[in-house]
Structure 1
Amino acid sequence: MRHLFLALFSLLLSSCTTVNSGVSKGSLPPEFSVMYDLQHSKGDLPEADLAIELLDILDSRCPAHVQCVRSGDAVVSFAAHSLRSNSQPLHVFELHTNLEPRSVTVGQYNVSLYGVFPILKAADQLQPKETPSVIFNFNLQ
């Protein structure tokens, strides 16, 4: 089961635009996904006129395969601003996995939270090398 999850997660990541070294030079489509983690938390999306910075991930979700009274929630805080307008202020947003809001409008895009990874199993803990990551979906309005 773990190998299946890793294979699916790898496939998902391979379909995402990476921001570690900036977005590729082609124009961004009306819909795209971007993955951030707390070690690679900043990324400019010049074709979308956006700069995004992941600020924090607070994860209180119930571990997989465990029965919980409440499912919990992961809260992702990020900042965004226009690349073209130096006078436009930086806006800070929070998105949730189980509560509202689950999406916000940033510039011309509706930004939603695809997921927060890894999803912990019972009694699992993040190893020191593991950094939580988040995948955002961007949809042109």
Structure 2
Amino acid sequence: MNTPRRTTIYDVATEAGVAASTVSRTFGNPRRVNATTREHVLRVAERLGYRPNPLATALQSGHKATIAMLVPDITNPHFFGTIRGAERRASEAGVTFILGNTEESAANERNQIERLDHSVDGFVLAASRMSDETTVGI
């Protein structure tokens, strides 16, 4: 089965009559693009079904638009409201929400933080199992 090819910034640039760098800036740093050009590029991108690649955007802007929430036990009903509220706020802000279960372990919590550190903008630690000294600077 052939999957349709995703529309790229090069497709949008060709159709809009601008450079690929202009399309990139339109999505990654819109203040650096003339308002008229930006609106034109956005209209063309929408018509073509272009969706920015979040990883490419993160490389350019430094913002991943992703947060991670780590809880000690996702089956504990105490955390349901906190998880739901954090996910809702992230969604409203257009931020991807990652939920991690640390299994009541400070070592697991630290490992998840280390693995996700370069992939997220920040962490929400619900009832951290690490010491206060350990969490400073995370």
Q: Considering the TM-score relative to the shorter chain, is it more than 0.5?
A: no
User: Which structure would you say has the larger Rg?
Assistant: 2
Q: TM-score range by the shorter chain?
A: under 0.3
TM-score normalised by L of structure 1: 0.23
Higher helix fraction: Structure 1 or Structure 2? 2
Q: Which has the higher strand share?
A: 1
